[in-house]
Amino acid sequence: MDAAGVRQLVRRLVEAKVDSIGLLGSTGTYAYLTRAERRRAIEAAVDEAGGAVPVMAGVGALRTDDAVALARDAKAAGAGAGLLAPVSYTPLVDEEVFVHFQTVAGESGLPICIYNNPGVTHFSFSAELIQRLAGVPGVVAVKNPAPPADQVAAHLADLRGRVPASFSLGYSADANCAEAMLAGGDAWHSVVGGMFPAVALALCRAAQSGDPVETRRLNARLEPLWRLFRELTGLRLAYAAANVLGLTSAQPPRPILPLSEAAQARVASVIEELRLG
């Protein structure tokens, strides 16, 4: 775990004045890190943020007791919230996921954001399960993959009618998030924002101000980057982009391999083309 690299990334985000920092999500390869490595990453990020920006840290684990321990670690290290995914080997059912979240929130005392990422966990949260979890003390938010543009408004409206007004409805899947924010999403949990915060903030602020023309213009400008995301995956692209920007020399944890030299050159070319550096 590259603590110096974590600090450099966080420093850029603080300087850009982002609203919050998401640490140890899927792109942060939390599932590949030891408990001690996760604790060091959170301590480095919280220290570098210096209280200027709140930090939410991934606390997912296969076992409930391990997730409780990780959430307690995150709270002790200064994280403001925990991002909890239903990590599993044996497929989980709704009641198992409900009790898992109820236990982690209740026994850790750390505010929990539901991490709905079926592409990697192979578990998808229904609107009914999110509604039920929103009633659990300490479960305060959800991070959902943004649906296609023609579905996101209905998706958001349905959830709004199911959860308390204070419950944050956030979205990921960067290429679809412009429309999610225009529809009134509370948060964009962005991969690209970790590398290029100024670009992500400009798009987010345009959406929050209710300017669909500018939001869609900025999103369309990023299409070469979105194509790379779809082809190379966000995790691999993020590592390559961080390397190109000189933020870290870290490589993905094995068995994930770095991008080929040709693919890395394409990443560098898009960063230069879009003036993202």
Query: Hey, which residues are catalytic here?
Result: 115, 143
Q: Measured on CA atoms in the order 234, 238, 239, 243, is the torsion positive or negative?
A: positive
Q: Is there a cis peptide before residue 54, judged by omega within 30 degrees of 0? A: no
In angstroms, the first-to-last Cα distance of the chain is 24
**Of 230, 273, 238, 245, which is closest to residue 259 (Cα–Cα)?**
238
- What is d(CA 240, CA 110) in angstroms, rounded to the nearest whole number? 32
Do residues 171 and 145 make contact, with C-beta atoms less than 8 angstroms apart? yes
Helix (H), strand (E) counts: the chain: 14, 7
Per-residue buried b or exposed e for 202-219, using 16+ beta carbons within 10 Å of the residue's own CB:
ebbebbeeeeeeebbebb
Q: Element (H or E) spanning 211, and its range?
A: none
Contact 27, 34 (CB under 8 A): no
